Amino acid sequence: MPEKIIVAGVPVDTRHFIGGRRVASPDTFDDVSPIDGQVLGPIARGGPAEAEAAIAAAREAFPAWAATPRAERARILHAVADGVEKRIEELSAVETHDNGALLRSHRRGVMPRVAHNFRFFADWLLTLGHDDFETRGHTNHVSWDPAGPCVLITPWNAPLMLATWKVAPALAAGNTVVLKPAEWSPLTASLLADIATEAGLPAGVLNVVQGYGAEIGDALTSHPDVRRISFTGSVPTATRIAASAAANLTPLSLELGGKSPLLVFADADLDLAVDLAVEQYDNAGQVCLAATRILVEESVAEEFTRRFEEKASALVQGDPREEATDLGPTIHTRQLEKIDGFVQRALAAGARAVIGGHRRDGQYYAPTLLTDVAQDSEIVQEEVFGPVLTLQTFADEEEAVRLANDTRFGLAATLATGDRERADRVTARLIAGTVWVNCFFVRDLQAPFGGSRLSGVGREGGTWSFDFYCDLKNTVTAPNGWNNHG
């Protein structure tokens, strides 16, 4: 296999990165661009041997990195952020070819956020602490000790941003990392390894291995030397990871799927509510936080639907490299078939497509809104992960909350209302890790992030990330018993 491929004019090494050096595998898999179905190149396909080597490298590098002073770890993470910022154009172009998300979004939002992930956790590390407190004259001192090698398994819908959301706090905490990116979008993780090396990150502190979950993922998550596992992805995969980790009682952080509601009350700013609803088509609907179930108060449902159809129909779907494009392709033909299967079964069961409901050429699926759907139907209850929304109506606040909470998930919820007291009442009753009121996708790294029910286990962000990636220790010291008084 070639050591490097050229993507959008950028050379990308397709080998693993283990212990500070590139490592090939005897087998490969093809990385295909969703834009046009073209093969970008063969990628090293790892298995148990590569998993073992990567964990061994992380284990060997851990003592020195854990002992590195906080200020020095923070300095290196800021240097990584500098490297990301210098290569925003390259990273954006490669990731757009690799996963089909909009180039303009990568340039303006996603890649700057990648750099911010490193800067935020580097700075947070320097302020991390807890005031000492007294217990019957004894002093309690809380500390955050690095846990050890971490396995981080990341998804394909925002590959580098979601990878660094895990990598940055794990490294800041003093841990070493084995990163396994999704096989459908592995390229920017490889570029991150180059950037981290140039920034001075010691060999073995960050390792990147590629391959299929069944071949390399199980070997990583079941390894007894792994001290933390963080995963973002589907519920079925999470259950396999949890079972694999159980034998070693390896702590897990799981950020999983969602079937989030958008509640639109009659007192809401209807134009704002429509804007929020259409925004759910972002990244071709391949966003775990997307409010795919639109719940609208009966008295404004007809007007809401009219305005929604008008606005959504104006969206431009096409080549994500073009500035005017609003929706790109779905990530993979398998995902496209899955999306269409959901929609066609819903239509066969009596749903009506207000817009969309069909494929377009290539790997593109038309933005879709389905009405006349039952609450217990598959299309309402299961995550589609594509540009497919449903619309239901409610009579009053009580029914709105009941419908909103009536799934197995609890990742997020969005609420549109002009009544502050109603907002307070409803948000208090919604089952969700994040609730947005009259806004969407406003996220601060200081805030806890995660889901309830089948949407996940644990919270990350700010100190919550360090709580997960560290072993917390409380040291209790008696007030006397010292032989010296220096």
How do residues 167-179 score in pLDDT, each as one tens digit? 999 999 999 999 9
pLDDT tens-digit series, residues 79-123: 999 999 999 999 999 999 999 999 999 999 999 999 999 999 999
Cα 22 to Cα 33: distance, rounded to the nearest angstrom = 24
Q: Are residues 220 and 282 in the same domain?
A: no
CATH number at residue 354: 3.40.309.10
Q: Is the pLDDT of residue 262 over 70?
A: yes
Cα 159 to Cα 188: distance, rounded to the nearest angstrom = 7
Q: Which of 256, 275, 310 is where one domain is finished?
A: 256
- pTM of the predicted protein model: 0.96
Q: How many domains does the chain have?
A: 2
Q: Are residues 134 and 227 in the same domain?
A: yes
Q: Are residues 10 and 60 in the same domain?
A: yes
Could you list the active site residues?
255, 288
| Domain assignment present for 451 | no
Q: Are residues 350 and 416 in the same domain?
A: yes
State both tokens at 160: 């580098």
Q: What is the pLDDT of residue 13?
A: 98
Cα 281 to Cα 297: distance, rounded to the nearest angstrom = 21
| Domain assignment present for 202 | yes
Least Cα distance to 448 among 169, 204, 219, 54 occurs for 169
Question: Cα–Cα–Cα angle for 86, 88, 92, nearest 5°?
Answer: 160
Cα 68 to Cα 336: distance, rounded to the nearest angstrom = 46
| Domain assignment present for 462 | no
| Domain assignment present for 470 | no
Q: Are residues 121 and 135 in the same domain?
A: yes
CATH number at residue 74: 3.40.605.10
Q: Are residues 167 and 74 in the same domain?
A: yes
CB 448 within 8 Å of CB 464: yes
pLDDT tens-digit series, residues 396-435: 999 999 999 999 999 999 999 999 999 999 999 999 999 9
| Domain assignment present for 281 | yes
| Domain assignment present for 454 | no
Q: Which domain holds residue 10?
A: 4-256
Q: Are residues 229 and 356 in the same domain?
A: no
Q: Are residues 278 and 177 in the same domain?
A: no
Q: Are residues 198 and 310 in the same domain?
A: no
Q: Which of 217, 236, 256 is where one domain is finished?
A: 256
Q: Are residues 275 and 403 in the same domain?
A: yes
| Domain assignment present for 442 | no
Q: Are residues 289 and 220 in the same domain?
A: no
Cα 38 from chain centre: 26
Q: Which of 199, 226, 256 is where one domain is finished?
A: 256
| Domain assignment present for 34 | yes
Give the pLDDT band (50/70/90) at residue 41: very high
> Three-class SS of residue 184?
coil
Give the pLDDT band (50/70/90) at residue 2: confident
Q: Are residues 247 and 320 in the same domain?
A: no
Which residue type, as a one-letter code, is found at position 33? S
b vs e for 67-82, b when ≥16 Cβ sit within 10 Å of the residue's Cβ? ebebeebbebbbbbbb
